A and B are shown apart, each in its own frame.
Chain A
Amino acid sequence: MLRIPCPVCGLRDETEFSYGEDASVRRPDMNEADQKVWHDYVFIRDNPRGPHKEYWHHVSGCRQWIVVDRDTLTHEIFGSALACEVAA
């Protein structure tokens, strides 16, 4: 069981959250016409073995999207932030 620190609600169980995806992925500009850029956005992931920034939705809590900094090998969580603040 992961214990995820929500910036709003504090330390909560993994079961209250829904996993989003790799938070380093950014949607290209809508005027982008290069197929490869869109292909990489939709399909390609770094998939690191180690520190990973990822989206979680606190769906059974404050309903905020957050970005969690977690190690994919050890499951250690280093911190989190509201997604709206990370994106800004």
Chain B
Amino acid sequence: MSHYSALAILRHGLTGNRHWSRAWRDPAPKPKYDVVIVGGGGHGLATAYYLAKEHGIRNVAVLEKGWLGGGNTGRNTTIVRSNYMIPGNSAFYDRSMRLWDNLSQDLNYNVMLSRRGYYFVFHSPGQAEGLRRRANVMLANGIEAEFFDRAQIMKRLPFLDYSPTARFPIYGAFLQPRAGTARHDAVAWGYARGADKQGVDIIQQCEVTNYIWDNQKIVGVETTRGSIRAKKVALAVAGHTSHLAAKAGLRLPIETHILQAFVTEPVKPLVDHVIVYGAAHFYISQSDKGGLVLGGDLDGFNSYAQRGGLPIVEHTLQSAKALIPSISRLRLLRQWAGVMDMTMDGSPIIGKMPVEGLWLTGGWNYGGFKAIPASGYCFAWTIAKGEPHPDNAAFTLERFERGYQIDEAGAGPYPKAH
């Protein structure tokens, strides 16, 4: 496996690019591993990478039913941020931001991290007060946050609708300057290559159909490519957590919902940051290729279908036009939907399950992409040491029965409302 560098590009260029080796192997599954990770998206691959790198556990397999990053890792709006304020969330998401900092160097793979800043536009004095509080809590936690009034934001984001006929008047905006975007596929591929380099087997087209039990303990998985035994089985399966947990006899505080995103035809640089509309559920950024990436709200009912409905298409595009009238004539190129684990408090679950031998990272709601580095880091720690890292200690499954929900939105036990 060759090291990627400017010199390597030059050398391969001079030899006609005929000698690039594949980025990771394609091994057949072995009959037994120390750890089997189910799910070859960002979270599963990052977990394998940190198990090998931080804890020396290299006899690991990542099983993926489709292709790497073909689930929610490839179905998001690529935003990374840590504008959280509830204890339990702040430290975790800021660890993720710090891991993003050096990720390209660490993985020797360009994840195209772009710290372009994340503006949250607000539209009423009450909303301003709420965001001021959030900004102050973030600052107290050592996470940068800036606050701009209407006159300042008119200079910074001149293309928003400031006219008297704007559907919702813009009072100002809140900025997390270190937030931004990253290239989603590169994150999956970078972690896959990094894990593979350390001996992790990445096995695609391998769906887990059931568990292997020994005396009420899970000791492996049945797959479409045969039985694989493992000391520890770890789930990192995005929207399908309930489905695989049910096979282990577990019922979880999770509902699966669909979230859509859209890309317009490419245009010249217009939106330099990530911008969030405070009056409806809508956010926008511009990809390096020039397409505007739009995200909206959940479709609003339980669904495992990786496609969205037209009512949310309309809602999202109305919001886009209300915030930035000048983009109203752009055409959409693509639209897709991912299936989200929506938990009862809007926060994730990382830890050991009540069934012996089973571990879980899941319940990522809307926020799985930005959490990938910290989720992998903390989940690997939890699996290796048998106890949670301080940064994921609050994300237990037991928090619901103990009354320690981490409800950032304050929405109560309604998954579609988070």
Q: How far is the CB of A87 from chain B (nearest CB, A)?
A: 20
Verify B344–A43 contact, CB threshold 8 A: yes
Question: Once the chains are docked, how many angstroms separate the CA of A21 from the CA of B14?
Answer: 61
Listed by A's residue number, 28 A-B pairs whose Cβ atoms lie within 8 Å are A1-B309, A15-B311, A19-B300, A19-B416, A35-B401, A40-B251, A43-B400, A44-B252, A45-B253, A45-B255, A46-B246, A47-B254, A47-B255, A47-B302, A48-B242, A49-B243, A49-B256, A49-B304, A52-B302, A54-B301, A72-B256, A72-B302, A72-B304, A72-B305, A73-B303, A73-B305, A75-B303, A75-B305
Verify B256–A43 contact, CB threshold 8 A: no
Verify A1–B311 contact, CB threshold 8 A: yes
Question: Once the chains are docked, how many angstroms separate the CA of A44 from the CA of B400?
Answer: 9
Question: Once the chains are docked, how many angstroms separate the CA of A47 from the CA of B252?
Answer: 8
Q: How far is the CB of B363 from chain A (nearest CB, A)?
A: 11
Interface presence of B65 (CB below 8 A) = no
In the complex, which residues of chain A have a beta carbon less than 8 angstroms from the beta carbon of B302?
Answer: 22, 47, 52, 54, 72
Verify B309–A46 contact, CB threshold 8 A: no
In the complex, which residues of chain A have a beta carbon less than 8 angstroms from the beta carbon of B28?
Answer: none
Q: Which of B382-407 contact A (CB under 8 A)?
A: 400-401
Which partner residue on chain B sits nearest A74 by CB separation? B305
Q: How far is the CB of B235 from chain A (nearest CB, A)?
A: 14
Q: Known contacts A36-B401, A54-B302, A72-B303; decide if A42 and B256 are in contact (CB<8 Å).
A: no
Q: Which of B242, B302, B400, B416 has the most CB of A within 10 A?
A: B302
Task: Tell me the count of chain A residues lying within 8 A, CB to CB, of chain B.
Answer: 25
Question: Once the chains are docked, how many angstroms separate the CA of A72 from the CA of B255?
Answer: 11
Question: Once the chains are docked, how many angstroms separate the CA of A49 from the CA of B254?
Answer: 12
Interface presence of B199 (CB below 8 A) = no
Question: Once the chains are docked, how many angstroms separate the CA of A47 from the CA of B300?
Answer: 14
In the complex, which residues of chain B have a beta carbon less than 8 angstroms from the beta carbon of A44?
Answer: 251-253
Interface presence of B29 (CB below 8 A) = no
Q: How far is the CB of A56 from chain B (nearest CB, A)?
A: 8
Q: Which of B297-327 contact A (CB under 8 A)?
A: 300-305, 309-311
Interface presence of A26 (CB below 8 A) = no
Interface presence of B413 (CB below 8 A) = yes
Which partner residue on chain B sits nearest A41 by CB separation? B413
B106-138 Cβ-contact flags toward A at 8 Å (1 or 0): 000000000000000000000000000000000
A4-29 Cβ-contact flags toward B at 8 Å (1 or 0): 00000000001100010110000000
Interface presence of B240 (CB below 8 A) = yes
In the complex, which residues of chain B have a beta carbon less than 8 angstroms from the beta carbon of A36?
Answer: 401
